[in-house]
Amino acid sequence: MPDIDIHFDVQYDYPVVFTKDVFNTENPVLVDIFKKTGQKNRILVVIDSNVAASTPDLISRIGVFFRQYDDIMDMVAPAYIMTGGEVCKNTPHEVEKIQILINKNHLCRHCFIMVIGGGAVLDAAGYAVATAHRGLRLLRLPTTTLAQNDAGVGVKNAINKFGKKNWLGTFAPAFAVVNDLLFLKTLNTRDLRAGISEAVKVALIKDRFFFDYLYDRREALRDFEPESMQEMIIRCARLHVDHIRNSGDPFERGSSRPLDFGHWAAHKIEDLADDDIRHGEAVAVGIALDAHYAHYCGCITEIELYRILSLMECIGFKLFHPALLQINIEASIREFQEHMGGTLAIPMICGIGKLTEAAIIDTGLIIRGIKNLEDRYNSKKTHEKKKRIQSDASHKGRGDVFS
Ligand SMILES: NC(=O)c1ccc[n+]([C@@H]2O[C@H](COP(=O)([O-])OP(=O)(O)OC[C@H]3O[C@@H](n4cnc5c(N)ncnc54)[C@H](O)[C@@H]3O)[C@@H](O)[C@H]2O)c1
Ligand SMILES: [Zn+2]
């Protein structure tokens, strides 16, 4: 009996558009996207609960926008408000609610789900959309720094299962991604900052000049100065997308996952910290740890290590988390490898902007890195406390003089 060898290629094209005020009826971005189908589009809108709460007129503005272009877009049901944050990935309920709406409204593969939210909502809603009818058209509108510069522009979606991050998920490129920078206006400082760590990550593995840019602008980024934030997001998103386009492995079938530099520890910290930490914050700690490792292995100099740590500290990241002390290093590395399979390939850096991979990990050096991060954090805390006491005392003294 002859064997049948099967080979076919599937091409994906999707734009990542940067804009401001996407639901302004004068803004052509969404109209141009929907016109591409050459038909009237049926659309279900899903909104992150915290985005909806912090922008009270968003739903009415979306309504006005849809009515203005009712020749090409039809909103099939009131917008569904999805619980924002990691909680939506921790249970299957939110995914199921979207699937119920897809079924109830008789949406097919030609219909759109437009998801507006942070990385967690995009991941969970994206998973629902990719699995209903084996995939509807997904339009992503990321609303956090991290979602705009990383999570929202890629091809992955997932929810958490068995206490493990992203255990259930698919690779499913979106129809389009629209990064509206005005969404960031309502973010708190924690979520504005968190995503900057992904820019540091991608600069470290791919682009020395981008790292220098981040270092030079570290104070502007600390202050969330709009122009620097915008450039950081655009360059970071571009580096992520370029990797997906050019790496030859957009669906991560091999053993390498370079974009996950610093992530083996980050994912474990997130699990152990019971979501009391943002993904981006955990990534900053993971980068700091792996940068120590790279230094101990002779891959980066002490000055380079110092620049990496001081860049992230200046931006406002804490580079130690108590969960680091609970990590079972070997098990965590095994879990990281198991997620993808193949040989062990922990992304590492060999100089700033240059990626390498570690096929074995020396646990002793990791422990040394954790200890150093803890000591550095404690001495910083002591130093800050001393400064506070001194400043209180000097104020008290001045008060005495004036009284
Ligand atoms: N799919 C991927 O390739 C990929 C890549 C990186 C990270 N991720 C995932 O992304 C998630 C983290 O994403 P995140 O950092 O965006 O966090 P997040 O989605 O948890 O959002 C943080 C908080 O901000 C709220 N929020 C979102 N936008 C807001 C806005 N404009 N105004 C006010 N509040 C707003 C959210 O409701 C949430 O409470 C993690 O689950 C991570 O695993 C996925
Ligand atoms: Zn990440």
What spacing in Å lies between the alpha carbon of 279 and ligand 1's midpoint? 8
Identify the DSSP state of 243.
Answer: H
- CB atoms inside a 10 Å sphere around CB 290: 27
The predicted-structure confidence for 48-89, as pLDDT tens digits, reads as follows 999 999 999 999 999 999 999 999 999 999 999 999 999 999
Identify the DSSP state of 171.
Answer: E
CA dist 103 and 218 (Å) reads 48
* All structural domains of the chain with their residue ranges: 16-187, 191-247+256-387
Report CA dihedral (118, 120, 123, 129) to the nearest 10 degrees.
-80
Structure tokens at 56: 């009270």
User: Atom 40 in ligand 1: which residue has the minimum CA distance?
Assistant: 120
Q: Is the pLDDT of residue 192 over 70?
A: yes
CA dist 166 and 170 (Å) reads 10
The predicted-structure confidence for 347-395, as pLDDT tens digits, reads as follows 999 999 999 998 889 999 999 999 999 999 999 888 888 888 887 777 6
In CATH, the architecture of 191-247+256-387 is: Up-down Bundle (1.20)
Q: Contact 140/178 with Cβ under 8 angstroms?
A: yes
Q: Contact 91/115 with Cβ under 8 angstroms?
A: no
What spacing in Å lies between the alpha carbon of 260 and ligand 2's midpoint? 6
Residue percentage of the chain with pLDDT more than 70: 97
Q: Is the pLDDT of residue 129 over 50?
A: yes
Specify the fold of 16-187.
Rossmann fold (3.40.50)
Reported as type and span, the H/E element at residue 129 is: helix 119-131
The CA distances from residue 238 to 97, 151, 184, 193, 243, in Å, are 33, 12, 18, 19, 8
Residue percentage of the chain with pLDDT more than 90: 85
Q: Is the pLDDT of residue 399 over 60?
A: no
- CB atoms inside a 10 Å sphere around CB 287: 28
Q: Following DSSP, what letter does each residue of 321-359 receive, concatenated?
A: -GGGGG--HHHHHHHHHHHH-SS--EEEESSTT-EEEES
Residues with CB under 6 A from ligand 1: 48, 50-51, 54, 84-86, 89, 117-121, 123, 143-144, 146-147, 150-151, 154, 156-157, 165-166, 183, 186-187, 191, 194-195, 278-280
pLDDT band at 109 (very low <50, low <70, confident <90, very high): very high
Helix (H, G, I), strand (E, B) or coil at 141: strand
Structure tokens at 158: 């997932």
User: Atom 13 in ligand 1: which residue has the minimum CA distance?
Assistant: 119
Q: What is the pLDDT of residue 343?
A: 81
Ligand number with the minimum distance to the CA of 270: 1
Query: Which atom of ligand 1 is closest in space to residue 123's alpha carbon?
Result: 1
Q: What number of CA atoms fall less than 13 Å from residue 5's CA on the CB side? A: 1
The CA distances from residue 104 to 99, 101, 123, 194, 321, in Å, are 9, 5, 22, 37, 45
pLDDT band at 398 (very low <50, low <70, confident <90, very high): very low
What spacing in Å lies between the alpha carbon of 275 and ligand 1's midpoint? 12
Question: Please, what is the Cα angle at 104 between 101 and 108, to 5 degrees?
Answer: 85
CA dist 310 and 317 (Å) reads 10
pLDDT band at 396 (very low <50, low <70, confident <90, very high): low
Structure tokens at 287: 């980068």
The CA distances from residue 387 to 314, 380, 381, 384, in Å, are 17, 10, 10, 5
